[in-house]
Amino acid sequence: MSTFPWWTTLDQMGFATTGFLSSAFWQSSILFVAVIGLSWLLRGRHPTVRQRLWIVSLLVAPILPFITLGARSVGAPQQPLSVLPAYVRPIRNPELDSRNVESSLSHAVSQTEVRHSSSPGPYSTARTRTTQLADSQLRVAKLLEFPWALALLAYATVLAAFVGFIVIGRVRIRQWIHLATPCEDERVCSAFRRARRMLGFRRDPQLLESDRVPVPISAQTIKPRILLPKGLAESLSNDDLLAIALHETAHLRRHEPFTLVVVALVRAVFFFHPLVWLAAHRISTLAEQSADEEVLRCTRKPLSYAKLLARLAEKLPRRPLSLEMAVGLVLGKSAFLRRVEAILSDRRGQVQKLTRVALATSVVAILLSIGLAASLPLAEKEQAAVASAKLVLENPGGTNPKDRPQAMVPIPAGRFEMGIDEEDLEELVEMGTRIPHMRMAIARTWWSNEMPRHTVKVDSFYMDTHEVTNAQFRQFVRETGYKAEGHWQKYAKKDRIAHPVVNVTWNDAKTYAKWAGKRLPTEAEWEYAAKGGKNVKWFPWGDTPDPTKANYQHKGETIFRDLRERILGKKINTKAVGSYEPNGYGLFDILGNVEEWCEDAYKPYLGGLPWNHEIYKKPWGSRRKWSESQKVIRGGHWGSSNPAYMRITKRSNAYPDDSSYFRGFRCAKSRDDSAAK
Q: What is the pLDDT of residue 329?
A: 58
Contact 249, 205 (CB under 8 A): yes
Query: By C-alpha distance, which of 667, 603, 663, 669 is closest to 634?
Result: 663
Cross-strand partners of 6: none
CA distance 618 to 495: 43
Cross-strand partners of 181: 209
CA distance 397 to 676: 12
Q: How many helices (H) and strands (E) does the chain have?
A: 22, 15
User: For 42-87, where are the alpha helices, taking DSSP H only?
Assistant: 47-60, 64-73
CA angle, residues 292, 297, 303, in degrees to nearest 5: 65
Contact 34, 366 (CB under 8 A): yes
Residue 617 has pLDDT above 70, yes or no: no
- Among left, alpha and beta (phi > 0; psi -120 to 50; other), residue 647 is beta
Q: Which residue has the higher pLDDT, 13 or 99?
A: 13
Q: What is the pLDDT of residue 465?
A: 92
Cross-strand partners of 84: 380
Residue 384 has pLDDT above 50, yes or no: no
Q: What is the pLDDT of residue 545?
A: 82
Burial group, residue 30, by CB count within 10 angstroms (0-12, 13-18, 19+): middle
Q: What is the pLDDT of residue 323?
A: 53
Q: What is the pLDDT of residue 614?
A: 52
- What is the percent of the chain where pLDDT is above 90? 27
Query: By C-alpha distance, which of 485, 483, 482, 486 is closest to 503?
Result: 486
Q: What is the pLDDT of residue 320?
A: 53
- DSSP 8-class letter at 87: P
Mean pLDDT, rounded, for 598-619: 65
Task: Delimit the domains of the chain by residue range.
Answer: 7-90+370-379, 94-144, 159-350, 401-550+579-633+652-676
Among the ranges 438-442, 585-589, 625-629, which has the highest mean pLDDT value? Answer: 585-589
Q: How confident is the model at residue 442 (pLDDT cuts 50, 70, 90)?
A: low
Contact 376, 27 (CB under 8 A): yes
Q: Which residue has the higher pLDDT, 491 or 502?
A: 502
What is the average pLDDT score of the chain? 77
User: For 180-273, where are the alpha helices, taking DSSP H only?
Assistant: 186-199, 238-253, 256-269
Q: How many CA atoms lie within 13 A of 2 on its CB side?
A: 6
Global model pTM greater than 0.85 = no
Q: How confident is the model at residue 511 (pLDDT cuts 50, 70, 90)?
A: very high
Query: By C-alpha distance, which of 156, 662, 86 is closest to 390?
Result: 86
Q: Assign 230 to helix, strand or coil.
A: coil
Residue 240 has pLDDT above 60, yes or no: yes
Q: What is the pLDDT of residue 395?
A: 38
Contact 270, 24 (CB under 8 A): yes
Contact 86, 19 (CB under 8 A): no
Reported as a single tens digit per residue, the pLDDT across 563-595 is 344 334 445 678 888 888 889 898 999 998 899
- What are the contacts of 559-565 at 24+ separation with CB within 8 A? 559/436, 561/641
Report CA torsion sign: 221, 225, 227, 230.
negative
* φ and ψ at residue 303, rounded to 5 degrees: -65, -45
Burial group, residue 341, by CB count within 10 angstroms (0-12, 13-18, 19+): exposed
Q: What is the pLDDT of residue 448?
A: 76
Mean pLDDT, rounded, for 617-624: 45
Taking the domain 401-550+579-633+652-676, which CATH number applies? 3.90.1580.10
Residue 296 has pLDDT above 70, yes or no: yes
Mean pLDDT, rounded, for 237-264: 90
Which residues are within 8 A (CB) of 550 and not within 5 positions of it... i.e. 6 or more apart?
539, 580, 589, 591, 592, 593, 636, 646
CB neighbour burial string for 527-565, b if at least 16 within 10 angstroms, e if fewer: bbbbbbeeebbbbbbeeebeeebbbbbbeebeeeeeeee
Which residues are within 8 A (CB) of 66 and not within 5 positions of it... i.e. 6 or more apart?
none
Q: What is the pLDDT of residue 656?
A: 92
Measured CA distances, 171 to 156, 211, 264, 332, 500 (Å): 22, 17, 15, 20, 54
Which residues are within 8 A (CB) of 336 and not within 5 positions of it... i.e. 6 or more apart?
309, 310, 312, 313, 316
Q: What is the pLDDT of residue 611?
A: 47
Q: What is the pLDDT of residue 665?
A: 96
Q: Which amino acid is at 495?
A: D
Measured CA distances, 81 to 66, 75, 216, 470, 500 (Å): 17, 17, 49, 19, 20
Q: How confident is the model at residue 561 (pLDDT cuts 50, 70, 90)?
A: very low
Helix (H) or strand (E) holding 27, with range, is: helix 7-41
CB neighbour burial string for 352-369, b if at least 16 within 10 angstroms, e if fewer: eeeeeebeeebeebbeeb
Residue 156 has pLDDT above 90, yes or no: yes
